[in-house]
Amino acid sequence: MKQSLTTNLKTRKSKTKFSFTHERNEIRPQMMRNQLKTTFFLTFFLLLLSGCADSTDNQQKLDQFYQPIIDSIKQKFAPDQRVDRITISTTWEADDDCPTFVGKTTVRGVRDALLNAFETNNLCYQANINNLPASSLKADTFGIINVSVANLRTQPKHSGELTTQALLGMPLKVYDHEDGWYLVQSPDRYIAWLEAGAFVRGDRQMMQRYYGGPLAYLETAPTRKLTTTPSGGLTIRDLTPGSILRTGKTVGDYREIIMPDGATGYLLATEIRSLGHWQNRAESLELDLLATNFYGRPYLWGGTSAKGMDCSGFTKMTYLLNGYVIPRDASQQVHAGEEVPIITNDPAYANDNLENLKNGDLLFFGNLREDGSQRISHVGIYLGEGRFVHAGADNGFIREESLYRDDDEYAPHRRESLLRAKRLSIGTNGVVPIKDIIQSYQ
């Protein structure tokens, strides 16, 4: 064993001498360079491991100490991010002692509450959290829809999801801007992104000029064209039901209509109603009558206009034409109005368990979560005698169906998923007369 080991050592020495004899001037510098490279990469690797460890440690601190505070602040001040907005981003570099928080919010008091909570828990921080509207907007924090139907999206780009719509003449609050898009809030308090060309932006005086003059609205007529002259001419806008119109002079059978951007056109006077009629309509609901005027209109996810509606867009639109502004989504509408008791656990689905309902009540459908809470995913309008009208994605258009199993248009999956019913009227939660919104800008 020793002999073998000695032989191997000799062999290695021999090979080494051979190499040095022929490459003496090249190998020593090469060996030094290799040693330097090894040292460099080893040092870099150790620093990398140290940085990763610091980064992981920082993330653990964020998750354990900071994020619960941020979540509690959001839950307290903006439990529904569709109507109140709090956005906070966090960075914590490995060589920083404290994390940096950058954010924006539509809710006053969020910044102070957040920073006070950090200090109470002895947490260091750097923060730049600003209240909206953005200071760069200056006084121009209002807007008026300037097209028949404006598409509001979840992101500031055309490929963003269509989340809701707003009709011509509707007032907006403007909070922020990004790459030609504006973060706006519609009268139902829904917050989303809108392209600059779909509305005019200005200060409160602009709002007073538009809403302080004579106003009218388009009720149940199909889409109408606003033309440059009473006799016709070029079309400058199309109009849909629910549009709030600033009116001018009367020319024969026609009425001058003044657009938010100042453009003027003409429309038959018989096709519009005074705003006073709209404001008074809320006292005598005609929900079932107005709802049936939309029969056959296409289903559109995010739609809230006569051009296309989703389920809650349809109910919202019907109530709007009756003089109400109600919440946007079904999961929001279920919290408005007054509860109407119904029996939903009758295995026989008897017909007499809907006797408390009245025409115009909202019916809410969905399922139960694992914790037993209700998940509302659909809404329709009750018409009486077990029948209801709704915009269902499975139907493709607005139609009438029945909750009674003996009817030809019985919808068993709707009957089985019926969870609640609400009655909306002035003075109940979440129901705002359109006149109150308009008067706030006069």
Residue 371 DSSP symbol: T
C-alpha distances out from residue 31 to 22, 36, 92, 377, Å: 15, 9, 41, 72
Looking at 124, 158, 335, 378, which residue is catalytic?
A: 378
Measured CA angle at 173 (ends 172, 179), to 5 deg: 95
Query: Which residues have a Cβ under 8 Å from the Cβ of 177 and sit 6 or more positions away?
Result: 134, 136, 137, 183
Pair 239, 247: CB distance under 8 Å: no
C-alpha distances out from residue 100 to 106, 115, 124, 209, Å: 20, 12, 9, 44
Tell me the CB-side half-sphere exposure of residue 148, using CA atoms within 13 A.
17
Both tokens of residue 432? 């705002």
Say whether 378 is catalytic: yes
Looking at 22, 277, 335, 390, which residue is catalytic?
A: 390
Say whether 311 is catalytic: yes
Pair 401, 410: CB distance under 8 Å: yes
Looking at 22, 158, 311, 335, which residue is catalytic?
A: 311
Measured CA angle at 212 (ends 210, 215), to 5 deg: 75
Both tokens of residue 309? 């509606």
Pair 277, 216: CB distance under 8 Å: no
Say whether 390 is catalytic: yes
Question: Listing from the earlier edge strand, what are the strands of the sheet with 374-384?
Answer: 338-339, 418-423, 362-368, 374-384, 387-391, 398-402
User: Which of 288, 307, 281 shows the shortest CA–CA distance to 296?
Assistant: 307
Q: Rounded to an integer, what distance in angstroms lies between the CA atom of residue 318 and that of residue 92?
A: 50
Any idea which residues carry the catalytic annotation?
311, 378, 390
